[in-house]
Every structure is written in structure tokens, then in C-alpha cells.
Amino acid sequence: MRYAVLGGGKRVRPLLAFAAGELARAPTERIDAAACAVELIHAYSLVHDDLPCMDNDVLRRGKPTVHVEFDEATAILVGDSLQALAFEMLATGRLADDASTQLEMLRAAAVASGTRGMAGGQAIDLASIGQVLTLPELEFMHILKTGALIRAAVTLGARCGSALSAEEFGHLDRYAKCVGLAFQVIDDVLDAEAPTATLGKTAGKDAARGKPTYVSVIGLGRARELARALRRDAHAAVEGFGARAERLRDLADFIVLREF
Amino acid sequence: MRYAVLGGGKRVRPLLAFAAGELARAPTERIDAAACAVELIHAYSLVHDDLPCMDNDVLRRGKPTVHVEFDEATAILVGDSLQALAFEMLATGRLADDASTQLEMLRAAAVASGTRGMAGGQAIDLASIGQVLTLPELEFMHILKTGALIRAAVTLGARCGSALSAEEFGHLDRYAKCVGLAFQVIDDVLDAEAPTATLGKTAGKDAARGKPTYVSVIGLGRARELARALRRDAHAAVEGFGARAERLRDLADFIVLREF
């Protein structure tokens, strides 16, 4: 579990949780727990997705994947235990002003992880190998597979505090949807363009397996254009927060301009 | 997910949750959600445990296991999604008199599922293949692997209501520990004695794989004796509840006297 979680990574979800939490004037130790729980869910999904019967990847964050370094049974149990640990963290201590809000946070994390989120998206992803998808179908898959947990990171961070009105929360959620989708568009662009050494994971993997990607569905140029539009939309969504949303804007920039 | 959950099984954990919940005078719809969540966690663990890299079993409840009926990737995602769904259920609606108690229930379920519970026990189980364990080592493994979730079933059921004093809750928890251990002792006895057709799963599997069991560590006679002693202890633990504990006593009897 340590190998899977502490081996680096961009930590985009925790960063988003912190940026949203600070906007909601949440105490740092609350955001810390929520951010950590979301990252544990993300880390578990990578361990399971890399398994031979799933994406069959041997390299992650520049190191052998968990099932290569240990074995497949360990990788399955590591993922299972990380998911349980994430929910344990969300249920331990006080993460919101009241316990009901904390239950809502837990529910949001569970929904974002299950069939209507990450796991459902991965199931569609595996079923799409060798298929031709339309842009809306591809977007639907990614809204579940990557978008849901990124959105949950922002939601959970914000719910740790109480400074946001329902309207402000709505703006923040729109921001989260935009960066969630932009994240995946850029992932596909990098998978097609960047070398393995820079990515820390096997490049060109999706195309080689016949997986539909933004690049295969709309082409490299339009994919980059889409990411730029989503970045603009993300900025626009949090415009009303002024200087308080600086970190959120920086993260939208990082997600779209990153090279790994 | 339907195939994995709705294909029968003894439903021992839900039955225990209901018996404990009724003792605590909990509303049925609350116990229903808690009992269902615990059964979903149990069902997910069976799907993952049956995988080729784990216990490699092809038969469960008289039917092909999930990875045989579908494929391995589906089995992994089914298990992952069932775990998420369990926590979603525990975080949805009102399952206890107050939200803080519900968070405690969620935490108990998460701890019982992770490294200090079911998944940790399964990891020890896999690491024990071909090893000689002492009785305390074997008990430690089973307290985690099977005992923790059975205990959580009783705890969660009871927490749905509020009629129990701390002392009464202690008695109930002692009952849960006894039936949890008795369940595994009898599982090992049946694995050694009962035919596959009766069990609905491959018999003699543990011995064939060189897994330490109660039968291999202390022998068939002493294993049966241990189960009888645990049944007596379980009865004794809930003696003070009188007629109200009839279902709990019946379940202890069922767990020890069952033939499948």
C-alpha cells in the first residue's frame, strides 16, 4: 500500500481539494484527510487498472507497477484495502461542520468511485477496446472514469468548510467538471505525443490497444483546442471569486499545460 | 454485480444484523440497509478471492464464479464497485438515531473490510500457504478474515437502534466474536468432510492447496469440540437478554450445526 501511494504522482486531486477547501475557508487538517482519501481511491484504481487482465501495464510513475514489484494477489488486496482505508479516513474524526455533511461527503466519494463513477467508466473503457466511439460517447466514459473523482475532490475539499453559498458551490462544481474533462483530454494528447521517460508510464499504450481516445476520435489539433476551451471555461467558472480563486486557476493551467 | 450478489448464499451476516438490530429495537428499513451493505462487502470479497491469482476457484454457490461466467477484468471491477456501493448505502439516508453514530458504523465497516479486517486476513491466508501455523496464529488470521466482518454485521445491526446499554452492547459483541470464530471452524470442518455438491463450492480445496485450517492444525475431533465450545460461549454471552435473544441463539446453532 505504501509502494502504491507514496511513489509520487502529480497529486492533482489533493491539490484541487486543497484549493477548493481554502476557498471555503476550511481548516487545513480537515482538507488533509479529505484530500488523502480521494488520493487513496485514485491510487487503488491505478493498482487495479494496471493488472494484466485490465490495462496490463508494467510501468507507473517510473517504477514497476504493484503486481510486477509484488504479485497479482497482493495488487488486488492492496487496491481493495486502499479503498477501505479511504472510506475509513472519511468516517474518522470531524471533517465538516456537522456529521450530516460528512455523511454527504462520504456518499459523494462512494458514488464517484462506483458504477456511476470511476469503476463504471473503467468498465466502459475496457468494453470500448477496438470500438469506434462518437465524441459524446467518449466524453460520457471520461466523465465517469476520471471526471467523477476529480469533481469529488473539489466537492469534498469545499465541504470541509462552510464559507460557500449554494451559488458559489455551483460555480466551483462547474470548474471541477471542466478541469476533470480537460485532464483526460490532455492525458490522451500526452499518451500520443510524449515519450515514456517523461510520462513515467508506457506511452502510446491506448492507441496500441485500440482504445478510443480524444486523439483518435477528434484528432490531435482539435483535442488541444478542446483542452484550451475547457481551460477558459474553468477560469470563467471561478471568475466571481476574484483573487481567492488564484490556486484554482493555477491548477487549471497546470492540468492543461503539463507535459507529463 | 447482480450475478455475484443475488445468486444465493446463506446470508449469515444479514441474518445476524437483523437479529442484533431487533434486539436493539431498530426500525426494519435501517437494518435492511446496514445488513445489505455488509452482505455487499462479503460478496465483493468472494468475487476477488475466487480469482485465479487468489484462491483460483471456479464454483461458488453451485454456479461458475464471476470471472468464469464473465472475465477477470469484470470480476475485479464488480468487486471494486460492490465495495463502493456498500459504503454508499451506509452513507445514504438515516441509519442511526444521529449522524455521528452513522459515521461510527461506516468507520466500523471500513475497518472490518481493510487491512485490520477482511483484506488483511486474506493477505495472511495467502502468505500461509504451505506454512505450519500455531493455533493462535490461525485464530488471528480468521479473526481478521472472517471474524471482523461478522462482528461488524452484529455491531451495525445493533447501532441501527438505541435500546442497548453499553454493557448489553458488550455482551452482544462477545456473542459476535464467538459466532465469527465458530463460523470459520465449521467452514474448515465442512471443507474437509462435506461433498462439493452439498457445499456449492469446491470441497477439500484448502487442504489441496496446503492452507492451514482448524482441521490441519488441531484435527477434526478437536475442531468440532472447539465449535461446540464457541456455541456454548455465544449462548452464554446473550443469556441476560432472555427470550429477546432467541434469534441470536438460533443463529449460533445454525452456524455450528449447518451442513453447507
Please report which confidence band the pLDDT of residue B113 belongs to, taking 50, 70 and 90 as the band edges. Answer: very high
pLDDT at B149 over 90: yes
| Residue B52 clears pLDDT 80, i.e. is over it | yes
Task: Kindly identify which residue of chain B lies nearest to residue A112, measuring between CA atoms.
Answer: B84
pLDDT for the residue B203: 74
> Would the CB atoms of B115 and A81 count as touching at under 8 Å?
yes
Nearest CA in chain A to B117: A81
Q: Which fold has domain A10-257?
A: Farnesyl Diphosphate Synthase (1.10.600)
Cβ-defined contact of B73 to A102 (cutoff 8 Å)? no
Minimal Cβ distance to B76: which of A51, A98, A99 = A51
Q: How many CB pairs under 8 A join A and B?
A: 127
For B55-85, the pLDDT digits (tens) are 999 999 899 999 999 999 999 999 999 999 9
Domain boundary assignment for chain A: 10-257
CA angle B186, B189, B192 (to 5 degrees): 150
Partners of A109 on chain B (C-beta within 8 Å) are 87
Average pLDDT, chain B: 95
Residues in chain A, pLDDT under 50: none
Each residue of A155-200: pLDDT tens digit?
999 999 988 999 999 999 999 999 999 999 999 999 888 777 777 7
More confident residue, B210 or A38: A38
Average pLDDT over residues B249-254: 97
Can you tell me whether residue B64 is helix, strand or coil? Answer: strand
In whole angstroms, give the CA distance from residue B179 to residue A36.
36
Considering the domain B9-257 in this protein, what is its CATH number? 1.10.600.10
Query: What is the pLDDT, as a whole number, of residue B240?
Result: 96
Which pLDDT tens digit goes with each residue over B131-144? Answer: 999 999 999 999 99
Contacts with A79 from chain B: Cβ below 8 Å? 80
Contact A48 B113 (CB under 8 A): no
pLDDT of residue A7: 85
Q: To the nearest whole percent, how much of chain A has pLDDT over 70?
A: 100
The closest alpha carbon to A5, from B193, B147, A14, B116, belongs to A14
Q: What pLDDT is recorded for position A43?
A: 98
| Chain B: closest CA distance from residue A246 (Å) | 33
- Report, as an integer, the average pLDDT of B234-248: 97
pLDDT of residue B209: 82
* Smallest Cα distance from B114 to chain A, Å: 5
Interface list for chain A against chain B, based on CB atoms closer than 8 Å: 1, 44-45, 48, 51, 53-54, 71-74, 76-77, 79-81, 83-85, 87-88, 90-92, 98-100, 102-104, 106-107, 109-111, 113-115, 117, 119-120, 122-123, 126
Q: What pLDDT is stored for residue A202 in this prediction? A: 77
Predicted pLDDT at B205: 79
φ, ψ for residue A62, nearest 5 deg = 75, 10
Chain A CB contacts of B80 under 8 Å are 44-45, 48, 79-80, 83, 113-114, 119
**% of chain B beyond a pLDDT of 90:** 87
Query: In this model, does residue B202 exceed pLDDT 80?
Result: no
